[in-house]
Amino acid sequence: MKYLGIDYGRKKIGLAVSDGVIAEPLRILRYEDIRILREKLGKIISEFGIQKIVIGISEGEMGRESKEFGRVLEEKIKTPVIYQDESLSTQTAQELSIGAGIKRKKRKEMEDAYSAAIILQSYLDTL
């Protein structure tokens, strides 16, 4: 099964992929129009043959926005969406990338993609 992990944000999202048991950071998508973001995600889902999407969910307002984003995405793209707790994913991603010796500039550029990989890996570990 091929998975897409998403760390949702209001101006950018981080993406990670997996076609087995290991999640890998993919890229960051910046956006201003949510419809254009959905189109870009549709292309990525098609390109990678994604069969399931895992979206990180926090608490409060961002959690509600993430769930609404996932609901609309699932409806428009017709790919099942699963929600995974994203508590501490950004902090964990920062710690792991520092430990791996990734330079500060690269860490900042890819931070959300690393977080998406942590979220996706957390889900994969439950399977």
- Quote the pLDDT of residue 92: 65
Site of tokens 């608490």: 59
H or E segment to which residue 64 belongs: helix 60-77
Of 29 and 114, the one with more pLDDT:
29
Nearest-CA neighbor of 57 among 98, 99, 85?
85
For 68-94, the pLDDT digits (tens) are: 999 999 999 999 999 998 875 666 666
Domain ranges of the chain: 3-126
106 within 8 A of 94, measured Cβ to Cβ: no
- Quote the pLDDT of residue 24: 94
- Quote the pLDDT of residue 111: 79
- Quote the pLDDT of residue 98: 62
For 93-110, the pLDDT digits (tens) are: 666 666 666 666 665 567
Q: Model-level pTM?
A: 0.87
- Pairing verdict, β 24-30 and 52-57: unpaired
- Quote the pLDDT of residue 20: 87
Q: What tokens does 67 get?
A: 């769930």
Give the separation between CA 112 and CA 126, rounded to whole angstroms: 22
Is the pLDDT reported for residue 37 higher than 70? yes
Compute the average pLDDT of residues 24-50.
93
Give the separation between CA 104 and CA 42, rounded to whole angstroms: 31
Give the separation between CA 20 and CA 22, rounded to whole angstroms: 6
From 3.30.420.140, 3.40.50.300, 3.40.50.2300, 1.10.1040.10, which CATH number describes the 3-126 domain? Answer: 3.30.420.140
